[in-house]
Amino acid sequence: MHNLLVTALLWTLLWVMQANLTERNMLESDLRKAISQNQLELYYQPQVGDDGRIVGAEALLRWEHPVKGMVSPADFIPLAEQTGLIMPIGHWVLGAACAQLMAWSNNPATAQLRIAVNVSALQFKEPNYVSQVISVLERSNVNPSLLTLELTESMLVNDVNDIITKMNALKSKGVCVSLDDFGTGYSSLNYLKKLPLDQIKIDQSFVRDMLTDEDDVTIVRTVIDLAHGMRLHVIAEGVETQAHRQFLADLGCHSFQGYLLSKPVPIGDFETILLAHNTAAAT
């Protein structure tokens, strides 16, 4: 009787594992198609400066799956990284963001807007990553100083000297480098000192409960002070309420991104928000 139960359990387990594997394989082959069949899209989430004007946007990847609908990057970026598909996807993202910068460059209302693009640690590790970025910038004829690359602390498992060399090469072209999700990963103050960063981005997990949690306030305040001391630009993500925004501004945070202003939206909606918002901010 006991044996029978164990056997049944094992079979169930095997079946579940097999089903998961099949599901994963299907998602992988779908993701492969997504690139060639134009199912990927960039959404844009506004970033505002301390005067309240929209100064740019973070480009966030969306996958419109033909059957499943919108698949979240949290669900497919890890798979893309495991399968190496992050390389062509990351390349597509950069190209699409630069094409957008180019499209904005002829209109005075949009010519100064910046775009921040997320870069996977695996992409950044590629030996020719810097030349790839530069050639995309040149091909699209875009001012490199309008592009920000958001890197995460997870890249620090790789050779730090190589990271520094690459950052400096990008910076010499004018590209800005930001450390995303700051404080959630592997970084130490030692790295912060060594890396030639332009910006740090306070992770939303610290912002969320900042108004009620003493520890979060301390972390946020310390990160902002650190940024000031190191002459880095500091931006907060996950700014959901006016109270968040005011509190961060009082601490000296330079820019803000979050649902307070807008969720990430398709480009047409972003331009509508931009027009309404910056016109209002100017009057």
Binding site for Mg ion (CB under 5 A): 118, 150, 180-181, 237
| Least distance CB 4 / Mg ion (angstroms) | 48
Listed ranges 10-18, 226-234, 251-259, 275-283: which one lies at the site for ligand C2E (CB under 6 A)? 251-259
In whole angstroms, the minimum distance from the beta carbon of 238 to Mg ion comes to 7
Window 179 to 238, contacts with ligand C2E (CB under 6 A): 180-181, 204, 237-238
Partner from ligand C2E, Mg ion, none contacting 60, C-beta within 5 to 8 A by type: ligand C2E
Q: What angle do CA 28, 265, 104 make, to 5 degrees?
A: 105
Burial annotation 121-156 (CB, 10 A radius, 16+ → b, else e): bbbbeeeebbeebeebbeebebebebbbbbbbbbbb
Give the separation between CA 171 and CA 169, rounded to whole angstroms.
5
Closest CB to Mg ion among 28 and 191? 191
Amino acid at 65: H
Q: What CA–CA distance (Å, rounded) separates 75 from 88?
A: 17
| Min separation Cβ 244 and ligand C2E, Å | 8
Closest approach, Cβ 239 to ligand C2E, in A, equals: 6
Q: Which residues bind ligand C2E (CB under 6 A)?
A: 45, 60-61, 72-74, 77, 90, 93, 118, 120, 150, 180-181, 204, 237-240, 257-259, 264
